[in-house]
């Protein structure tokens, strides 16, 4: 029987292949009583299983595959912390003793207790972490049942599609070593582990399918449309033929795009547009250059601070920044000071707040940790001696924050002067506009800044009061909301009028459907994930700017969703 399931597409393209299911040990836990005389033996069996999983995690940490995304190791560390927590590694032994039950059942009871606690948490990101607990418990259950972690191997033929309730970091590391055509999961949101991995692997994938693992059977034929978030099970010949054609066309288009790498980026009327890349680590520079980036529009330095127990030294940071600047060979490199907090907590932080996206994060954390901030500022300034570096401050919301930040920049410069260390004395300082308060009081920021960059991910989140990591409200995350469009228009118009360079570095910049709208709003510099650069360039090259300007003004005057969608469609014809 053929049927279709809808979810959230997190990586575009079409995959056609056979389903390969991943089972879950927790669903098959047995319950039996044990005599008092065997309690100590059962507790020792549980300890042995925890020790075994701990060893498996340690071994995986030491054998992360080359090219694996940096988040892999961070996920593993999170699971090791969960495993070491007494609520998971000690509490089940109390249950074994008090209820005289087997270790598997005690662990299952403890997991359910923990999951109930997580279910009452309002924050979407923290709720999503309940899946990490399930994944760790499954690893321990496998050890108790004599089924230690095994590699998920793709079926022969290279067209296997992994179907899972969710994927653990350990599964993903093993999965990375095998050639799956796609994977789909019941769970997952925009910030889920699966989404992050899928984007890094650049294969079509769909998450949040809810019941796919239950509905799909082993070896059934699947079509995964990652662009539209659709999975078709057992398609008929007509549908299969249509999607095979789409798959071929998708691959042809990808190959064609490579020809645009060295093409100058201008609209049909000759307006130059600058396309730059967002990166997380120095290793990403190669990908940026391969896709024709004209600079680094956003270097997310916080990833240098993650996945470790200590903090990077000034010299270590300097080496990383200098490497990027040197490899970009004269092209601009915009280095954002660390945007830690919210969903990017330091391992040593351990501080959980009810609303992390509204708490001590980004520049607020920088100012609360001046010594840590000072080291980073010195490192960035030192790197400016080797190329065109621009310093970007995240999440500004008040002029007091900006004044304090600029004072610390001057202090860092003065310390380098005292030490006789060279740096670019004219290094530009810019600010990210991602809080509505900053957008609505833009002039007072622009008087003190050299440039601004719009962070649309947070700007939309804060404007619409929507947690973008929560898939239950993700449908409300709307870049075309009239409030968002008018706020963007205000920012860009104000910056252009003041003669301040303005760029955009959020997800909107890499969305080909929105590129013309952004150009119509007056943007001339866009920064995005390297994988999107050539597709966006293709849109720019076919854009008639005068025509787009007319349609953009009509969109700004409209507040009807259907009308906005219709105008956007006309813009993209």
Which residue, 96, 86, 89, 57, is CA-closest to 74? 57
Buried b vs exposed e over 378-400: b needs ≥16 C-beta within 10 Å? bbbbbbbbbbbbbbbbbbbbbee
Which residue, 519, 453, 516, 64, is CA-closest to 278? 453
Token pair in block for residue 169: 């970091």
Buried b vs exposed e over 495-528: b needs ≥16 C-beta within 10 Å? beeeebbbbbbbbbbbbeebbbbbbbbbbbbbbb
On whether the CB atoms of residues 224 and 20 are closer than 8 A, the answer is no
Token pair in block for residue 64: 């992360």
Question: Residue 526, CB half-sphere, CA atoms under 13 Å: how many?
Answer: 35
Reduced 3-state DSSP string for 542-567: CCCHHHHHHHHHHHHHCCCHHHHHHH
Q: Distances from the Cα of 259 to the Cαs of 80, 503, 532, in angstroms? A: 45, 26, 14
Give me the phi and psi of 467, to 5 degrees please: -75, 110
Beta-strand runs (E) in 414-483: 428-433, 451-454
Following CA atoms 35, 41, 43, 46 in sequence, which dihedral angle do they give, to the nearest 10 degrees?
-120
> Cα separation of 473 and 476, whole Å?
6
Catalytic residue chosen out of the listed positions 101, 481, 505, 529: 505
Catalytic residue chosen out of the listed positions 79, 101, 165, 193: 193
Q: Name residues whose C-beta falls within 8 Å of residue 554's C-beta, 6 or more positions apart in sequence.
A: 567
CA torsion sign, 423 to 429 to 434 to 438? positive
Which residue, 439, 456, 438, is CA-closest to 506? 456
> Cα separation of 90 and 94, whole Å?
7
On whether the CB atoms of residues 235 and 221 are closer than 8 A, the answer is yes
| Concatenated DSSP letters of 192-206 | SHHHHHHHHHT--EE
Count of Cβ atoms closer than 10 Å to residue 361 Cβ = 23
Question: In the annotation, is 505 catalytic?
Answer: yes
Which residue, 168, 80, 162, is CA-closest to 132? 168
> Cα separation of 75 and 192, whole Å?
11
Q: Distances from the Cα of 419 to the Cαs of 313, 408, 424, 425, 523, in angstroms? A: 17, 17, 15, 15, 41
> Cα separation of 139 and 378, whole Å?
44
Q: Give me the residues paired with residue 278 across strands.
A: 298
Question: Residue 352, CB half-sphere, CA atoms under 13 Å: how many?
Answer: 8
Question: In the annotation, is 210 catalytic?
Answer: no
For residue 321, the Cα-to-chain-centroid distance in whole angstroms is 21
Which residues are identified as catalytic?
193, 505
């Amino acid at each position: 029987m053929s049927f279709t399931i809808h979810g959230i597409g997190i990586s575009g393209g079409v995959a056609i292949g056979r389903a390969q299911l991943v089972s879950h040990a927790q669903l098959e836990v047995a319950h039996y009583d044990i005599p008092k005389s065997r309690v100590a033996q059962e507790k020792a069996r549980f300890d042995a299983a925890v020790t075994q999983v701990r060893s498996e995690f340690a071994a995986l940490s030491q054998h992360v595959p080359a090219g694996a995304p940096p988040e892999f190791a961070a996920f593993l560390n999170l699971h090791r912390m969960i495993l070491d927590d007494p609520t998971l590694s000690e509490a089940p032994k109390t249950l074994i003793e008090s209820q005289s039950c087997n270790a598997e059942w005690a662990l299952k009871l403890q997991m359910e207790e923990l999951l109930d606690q997580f279910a009452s948490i309002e924050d979407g990101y923290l709720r999503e972490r309940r899946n990490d607990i399930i994944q760790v418990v499954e690893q321990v259950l496998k050890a108790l049942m004599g089924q230690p972690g095994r590699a998920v191997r793709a079926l022969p033929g290279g067209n296997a599609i992994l179907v899972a309730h969710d994927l653990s970091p350990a599964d993903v590391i093993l999965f990375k070593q095998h050639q799956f055509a796609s994977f789909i999961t019941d769970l997952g949101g925009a910030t889920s582990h699966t989404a992050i991995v899928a984007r890094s692997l650049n294969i079509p994938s769909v998450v949040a399918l809810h019941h796919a693992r239950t509905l799909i059977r082993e070896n059934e034929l699947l079509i995964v449309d990652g662009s539209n978030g659709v999975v078709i099970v057992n398609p008929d010949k007509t549908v299969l033929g249509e999607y095979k054609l789409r798959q071929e066309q998708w691959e042809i288009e990808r190959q064609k795009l490579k020809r645009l790498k060295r093409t100058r980026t201008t609209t049909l009327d000759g307006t130059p547009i600058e396309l730059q890349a967002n990166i997380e680590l120095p290793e990403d520079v190669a990908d940026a250059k391969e896709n024709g980036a004209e600079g680094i529009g956003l270097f997310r330095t916080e990833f240098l601070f993650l996945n470790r127990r200590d903090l990077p030294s000034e010299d270590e940071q300097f080496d990383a920044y200098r490497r990027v600047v040197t490899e970009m060979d004269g092209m601009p490199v915009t280095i954002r000071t660390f945007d830690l907090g919210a969903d990017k907590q330091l391992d040593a932080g351990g501080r959980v707040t009810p609303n992390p996206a509204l708490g001590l994060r980004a520049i607020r954390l920088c100012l609360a940790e001046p010594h840590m901030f000072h080291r980073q500022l010195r490192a960035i300034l030192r790197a400016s001696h080797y190329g065109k570096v621009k310093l970007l401050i995240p999440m500004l919301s008040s002029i007091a924050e900006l004044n304090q930040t600029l004072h610390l920049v001057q202090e860092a410069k003065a310390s380098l002067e005292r030490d006789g260390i060279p740096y670019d004395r004219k290094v530009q300082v810019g600010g990210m506009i991602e809080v509505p308060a900053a957008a609505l009081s833009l002039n007072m920021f622009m008087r003190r800044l050299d440039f601004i960059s719009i962070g649309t991910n947070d700007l939309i989140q804060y404007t619409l009061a929507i947690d973008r990591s929560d898939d239950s409200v993700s449908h409300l995350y709307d870049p075309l909301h009239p409030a968002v469009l008018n706020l963007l228009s205000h920012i860009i118009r104000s910056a252009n009028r003041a003669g301040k360079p303005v760029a955009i570095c959020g997800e909107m910049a890499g969305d080909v459907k929105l590129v013309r709208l952004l150009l119509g709003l007056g943007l001339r510099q866009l920064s995005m994930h390297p994988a999107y650069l050539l597709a966006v360039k293709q849109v720019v090259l076919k854009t008639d700017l005068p025509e787009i300007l007319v349609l953009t003004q009509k969109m700004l005057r409209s507040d009807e969703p259907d009308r906005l969608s219709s105008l956007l469609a006309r813009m993209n014809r």
